[in-house]
Amino acid sequence: MSKIDYVLNSIKERNPGEPEFHQAVLEVFDSIEPVLSKNSKYLEEKVFERMAEPERIITFRVCWTDDNNQIQVNRGYRVQMNGAMGPYKGGLRFHPSLNLSILKFLAFEQTFKNALTGLPLGAGKGGADFNPKHKSDREIMRFCQAWMLEAYRHIGHFTDIPAGDIGVGEKEIGYLFGAFKKIKNEFQGSITGKGPLWGGSFLRPEATGYGLVHFAEYMLAEVDKDLANKVCLVSGSGNVSQFAIEKLIHDKAKVVAFSDSTGFIHDEEGVDEEKLAFLKVLKNEKRESIAGYAEKYKSAKYYEGTEKRLWSIPAECAFPCATQNELDESDVQDLSKNGAILIAEGANMPLTDAAIKAVQHSNIIYAPGKAANAGGVAISGLEMTQNRLGRYWSRSRMETELRVIMQGIHENCQDTMKKYSLDAQDYLNAANIAGFERVAKAMVAQGSW
């Protein structure tokens, strides 16, 4: 067994029963193997093994009282993955399926994503196996306060700065931040995604979705195309999906499908600004199924459950923005057969290993999430800067900053393709190598702690 093979096998053996984490590690490892082969110091210093081992994993009990005065018990987490580039930075996810395999994969991906932004950010991820759906605002508030009562001792604006993720929007961030402020008795930028009236940043809600579309624009420009009049599929209907749809509409693309956990909508006429506004009310305020969209708009059809796959609808561009492993090999084959030219990830690791291999054997241009969906953490990083300065920057400035950062990530990928003689448009390997090199250099420089 070669030394490189030994590295990968040892990581798998140390983390049994964690398929999502194994998948994330293998994807990056496959990309950087040539870098490890050429740089023996990275092998000697065991840089990749250290990257794949969280610096700290915190798990804790969260007890709270529901509206029926019954005590409920959940499990809270914070994975502080890598602090070589800056304080730990990454979102919180509230979802009943959450476990350490998912959190470690997310934190591992976050390491490279944060490095690609060019901002001084380490990487972390956290949350709880709590389901905010069908909970009252009071129940969500009590849960957030209970979560923070333990987690506060591990976070701070120079230590670890959580943000939102699935199940954690501005409302939950508000409750978490209010609890932190009360416990610590100080107003600091210890959490990002705050409202713009109380320490937040303009454009933060839109940043991931907008940044995703910006990155897609830069990719298409490389092959002399653009998004105008392109038929697009967007999975999900949460924050990232909503603002990806919004930006696609602005760019004159035609979004014909979106989804939630109950099924998906196919709207042959396309989503316009009026329909998107209704979708936002349906999901953000009423918290109802997207089935209501089809009831209101007769051009739309609702497909419940798995009776049909969203990715089977003919389209030129696909934006998976829901969750991990939502596209399999057959989905990619359907997209390719129907003439798709682009897949850009708004979610983290939404393609299975088999799906990625299928993309690589097709003519579809593929944007990995660690590059394409970095807009959210980029604006969060700038929110941290504003908090430390005690300043608010204008929306127009934030729009410029976001575009510059996404363009910088794209250029970094392009430069890496040339440096390592990668195939044109090989954004997957380019993003992995570029992120790895930045973090590896910082880790080696700081010694083998």
For 266-307, the pLDDT digits (tens) are: 999 999 999 999 999 999 989 899 999 999 999 999 999 877
The proportion of the chain whose per-residue pLDDT surpasses 90, expressed as a percent, equals 94
**pLDDT classification of 1: cutoffs 50, 70, 90:** low
pLDDT tens-place string over residues 163-195: 999 999 999 999 999 999 999 999 999 999 999
* Distances 344 to 71, 81, 359 between C-alpha atoms, Å: 43, 25, 11
Strands 300-304 and 263-267: antiparallel
**pLDDT classification of 448: cutoffs 50, 70, 90:** confident
pLDDT tens-place string over residues 59-76: 999 999 999 999 999 999
Asked if the 54-184 domain carries CATH number 3.40.50.10860, the reply is: yes
Is the whole model's pTM more than 0.85, yes or no?
yes
* More confidently predicted of 292 and 33: 292
Q: Which two tokens stand for residue 305?
A: 């459950």
Distance separating alpha carbons of residues 241 and 301, to the nearest angstrom: 19
Domain with CATH 3.40.50.10860 in the chain: 54-184
Annotated catalytic residues are 125
At residue 272's C-alpha, the angle toward residues 93 and 134, to 5°, is 35
In eight-state DSSP terms, residue 152 is: G
pLDDT at 38: 86
Q: Which burial class, exposed, middle or buried, applies to 186 when counting CB atoms under 10 A from its CB (0-12, 13-18, 19+)?
A: exposed
pLDDT tens-place string over residues 86-115: 999 999 999 999 999 999 999 999 999 999
User: Can you tell me which residue has the tokens 């969906």?
Assistant: 373
pLDDT at 45: 92
Q: Which burial class, exposed, middle or buried, applies to 203 when counting CB atoms under 10 A from its CB (0-12, 13-18, 19+)?
A: buried
Mean pLDDT of the chain: 96
CATH architecture of 207-372: 3-Layer(aba) Sandwich (3.40)
User: Can you tell me which residue has the tokens 């300065």?
Assistant: 389
Domain with CATH 3.40.50.720 in the chain: 207-372
372-383 mean pLDDT: 98
